[in-house]
Structure 1
Amino acid sequence: MQLAAQRTGNHFLVDDWVKYLFAYGGLLFDLLIGPLLLLKKTRSYAIVAAIFFNLTNSYVFNDIFIFPFFMIGALLVFLDPERVFERLKKWGIVRENATEEQGRNLGRMGAALLAVYVVVQLAVPLRHYFIPGYTDWTGEGQRFSWRMKIQHRSIEEMTFAILDLDKKVIHEINPSDHLFPDEVQQMAYSPQMILQFAQYLHDTIAPLNGVENCWVKSKVKVKFNGKDAAYIFNPTLDLIEAARSGKEVRTFIEPEPR
C-alpha cells in the first residue's frame, strides 16, 4: 500500500483503517461475490460491486496489468442472454429478424472434453504443491495459479556481465538498455526470466561485441517480503551453463532470505 500511496499521491492509503478495509473487505468480497452473482435478485448489485472492486484494484495495484479488465469482461456470462439478445437487436447490432440458435446437447465426447478442461483448470494451479522448494522465492509454479499478491520484491541491484574468455574483457550490461521497465521488474520475480535474458545476451549481444567464447553472470539482488536483500543467483554463477544444464532452475537459486 505504501507504493500505491507514493505512486498515486493518495497518502491515506497507508492508514491502518484502509489496510484493514482492503484485507477484510477483499476477503468478504471473494467469499460472497460468487453466490451473489448466481442469485437473480442480487445479480445486478453484484455486477456493479464487481466492476467497482476490479477498477479499484487496477488503480491501487498497478502490477496486475490487464487482469481486472479480464474479470470485468467475464461478468458477461452472468447476464440474461435473452435480454442481451433483445438489447443487441434494439441497438441494431443484430438483425431484427435474427433468431437465437437452439442449444444442442454436448454428447459424451463434449462432456468428456468439458470434464478434462475443468480438471486441468483445477489441477494446474495446484502444481506448486508437488514442486520442491519455496514457490514464492523460486517462482516455479507461480504462474497460472491462485497465488496473487502474496509477495513483494524491490530491486536493490540488477546488473549483468558478459565475460569474454578469449580477450579477458568484461562487458557490463544494463538490462534497462534492452528491456522495457515492466520486463525488468518482472525479472526480479522470475528467476527463469533471468536465465532467458542471459541466453539472449549470449546469443545476440555477445556476437555484436565480437565475443565468441563467454560466460554471462548476474548481480540481481532483491528485498523479498521485507526481508534482508539477497541475490537470486550467486554472482559467480555462469548463467549459460545453468540454462543449458537441463536441471531445474531451483537447483541454482540462492537460499531464500530469512
Structure 2
Amino acid sequence: MNKWLFKHIDNTGLVLFRVIFGFLITVEAFGAIATGWVRRTLVEPEFTFNFIGFEFLQPLPGTGMYYYFALMGVFGVLVTLGYKYRYSMAAYALMWTCVYLMQKTSYNNHYYLMMLLCWIMVFLPAHRWLSLDAKLNSDIKSPSMPRWVLWFLILQVWIVYTYASVAKWYPDWLDASVPALFMKGKSDYWLIGGLLQENWVHWSIAYVGILFDLLIVPLMLWKRTRVLGFVISIFFHLFNSFVFQIGIFPYMSIAFALFFFSPEILQKRFLPNKTRYTEGEIIVPKHKQLLVGVLSVYFIVQIALPLRHWFFKDDVLWTEEGHRLSWRMMLRSKSGSLSVWVVDKNTGKRVRYPHHTLVSKKQLRAVQSKPDLLWQLAQRIEAKEAAAGRDVEVYMDARVRVNGGAYFALIEPTVDLAAEKWSHFKHHDWILPSPKNYMEREYNKKSSDK
C-alpha cells in the first residue's frame, strides 16, 4: 500500500487544475454579482431557506452580500495565482460553504461539488509549482506529489458521475419524457430551438446522459479511449452549458481531464519549461495512519450519502427526503400550488395567510413543491405571528405535479406544520404518499372494502 499510495508522481495535472479551478471560482463569485444572482437570491428576499440546523447563517444586511462575493472573488484570484494559497483557498472554501448552507432556493449539484472541491484543494499541494508561493519560497517548490492525491480526485469525480447516471434509471427518464419537458422551455433558443423539440433529440439526451455519466471515467482511464472520451466530454459539457446555462460546472468538468492525461502530454501542451519528475520516490508521511483513516471515512460518507434515500419511506422524487447531497442532477420537473391558513389558538378563528408577501417569486416557486421548505415557511409564519402577540397554528394545502403529471396533495392539510419537529433521519408522516403509492393504497382500500 505504501508503494502505491505514497509513490511520488509528476504534479503537472494538479497545478494546472489549480489555475483553472481558481479562475472558475473567481468567475463564479464575480459572475454571481454581475448576473443578479446575489441580488435575487440573497439581497431581495426577506429571509433565506437555509439548510435546517443552520438558521444562524443568514445573508448580511443591505448590500453586504455584494462585498462578501467581491471578497470571495479576490480570494479566487489569489488561488489562481497561487499566492498565500492555503489561506486563500481555505477562506474561499469557508465563505462558499456559508453561502451554500444559508440558502436552498437556488440548489444545484455543482454548488455542492464546488464546496467539496474547495475543501479538498485546501489540503492538496497544488501550489508547489506555477505559483507565486513557489516563486517566493523555493523551499516549497516541487515538481511532484504523492499518488494518492491523483486518485483521491479521480475517485471523487467517479462517484459524482456514477450516481448521476444511476439516478436517471427511472421510468420518466427512460421513456425520454423528462428531457422532452426540459426542452419544451428551450423552443425560443436561436438556431437550435426547433431542433431541441425533435423526438430523437429527447431520446438522445436521455440515453447519452446515462451512458456518458456511467462510462466517461472508464473511457478517460483507458489510454486507447482517452482522446475519444475527452472529445465526447467537451461536446457533452458545452451542450449542457449552452442549453441549460448551469454556470461553471461544465467547464470545471472538462478541466477534470487534466487528472487523466499523462504529465508528458500536459507539459508539452501547457508547461514546456516545467521540470519533468521521473524519480518515483516513496515518501511515507509520519501521519500515514491518520491520513488513510480520514480518506477512508471521507469516501465511505461520499458513497453512503447518495444511498440514504432508500432508507426513507416512499419515492425521493416526491418527498425530497435524501435528494440533496446525492448527485441527483437534472432529473425531474416539479411545480405546485400553495394555500396557507392560520388558526388563532385563543379565538379559533381561521384566516387565509398571505404567504406570498414573505417570499420572493423565486422562493415561492421552490417552496410550493418541497416539504422541507414548506415546514420552514410554517415555522417562519408562526414566529412572525408570535412576535405580533398572536399564538397560531399553521396549515398548508400544497398540491404538486411531477414531470408534467396530474396535481396531487403533497402534505396533510389537517396537520399544524408549525408544531411539527424536523428530523434529518426519518420520514415525516405529514408528507402524503406519492401518486404511485397513493393509487396502490386506494386500490388496496377498495379491495378490502369489497
TM, length-normalised to structure 1: 0.76
Write the deviation string for residues 149-208 of structure 1: whole angstroms up to 9, x where unpaired: 4432222x1233333334636252244751351x333334431121012112222x3256
Check conservation: 1:191, 1:249, Cα contact below 8 A: no
Aligned counterpart for 2:409 among listed residues 206, 216, 231: 231
Aligned counterpart for 1:255 among listed residues 430, 433, 445: 433
Secondary structure at the aligned position of 1:250 is classed as coil
Match of 2:370 in 1: 190
Write the deviation string for residues 9-68 of structure 1: whole angstroms up to 9, x where unpaired: 113323211112112222332343112212345434433422331232244346x66654
Match of 1:143 in 2: 324
How far, CA to CA, are the matches of 1:65 and 1:164 in structure 2? 45
Aligned counterpart for 1:121 among listed residues 265, 289, 302: 302
Match of 2:68 in 1: none
Check conservation: 1:58, 1:68, Cα contact below 8 A: yes
Match of 1:240 in 2: 418
Shift of 1:112: 2.3
Check conservation: 2:335, 2:369, Cα contact below 8 A: no
Amino acid in the other structure paired with 1:105: V
Amino acid in the other structure paired with 2:290: M
Match of 1:93 in 2: none
Check conservation: 2:339, 2:398, Cα contact below 8 A: yes
Shift of 1:147: 3.3
1:222 aligns with 2:400: yes
Amino acid in the other structure paired with 1:33: I
- Relative distance call for 1:247 and 1:86 in structure 2 (3 A) is closer
Match of 2:289 in 1: 108
Match of 1:5 in 2: 184
Write the deviation string for residues 204-254 of structure 1: whole angstroms up to 9, x where unpaired: x3256x342011222221112343211211223211112369994531111
Secondary structure at the aligned position of 1:162 is classed as strand
How far, CA to CA, are the matches of 1:212 and 1:23 in structure 2? 51
Secondary structure at the aligned position of 1:148 is classed as coil
Aligned counterpart for 2:391 among listed residues 202, 213, 230: 213
Match of 2:230 in 1: 47
How far, CA to CA, are the matches of 1:80 and 1:97 in structure 2? 14
Structure 1 gaps, min length 5: 91-95
Check conservation: 1:153, 1:188, Cα contact below 8 A: no
Match of 1:78 in 2: 260
How far, CA to CA, are the matches of 1:248 and 1:39 in structure 2? 42
Match of 1:201 in 2: 381
Check conservation: 1:222, 1:231, Cα contact below 8 A: yes
Amino acid in the other structure paired with 1:77: F
How far, CA to CA, are the matches of 2:425 and 2:315 in structure 1? 17
Amino acid in the other structure paired with 2:377: F
Check conservation: 2:401, 2:407, Cα contact below 8 A: yes
Structure 2 gaps, min length 5: 1-179, 440-450
- Relative distance call for 1:246 and 1:105 in structure 2 (3 A) is closer
Q: Alignment RMSD, CA only?
A: 3.5
Check conservation: 1:151, 1:224, Cα contact below 8 A: yes
Match of 1:34 in 2: 217
How far, CA to CA, are the matches of 1:131 and 1:166 in structure 2? 37
Check conservation: 1:133, 1:250, Cα contact below 8 A: no
Check conservation: 1:206, 1:212, Cα contact below 8 A: yes
Amino acid in the other structure paired with 2:239: T
User: Identity percentage over the alignment?
Assistant: 31
Check conservation: 1:55, 1:68, Cα contact below 8 A: yes
- Relative distance call for 1:174 and 1:48 in structure 2 (3 A) is farther
Secondary structure at the aligned position of 1:158 is classed as strand
Check conservation: 2:369, 2:399, Cα contact below 8 A: no
Match of 1:161 in 2: 341
Amino acid in the other structure paired with 1:233: I
**Aligned positions, number:** 248
Structure having the higher strand fraction is 1
Check conservation: 2:394, 2:418, Cα contact below 8 A: yes
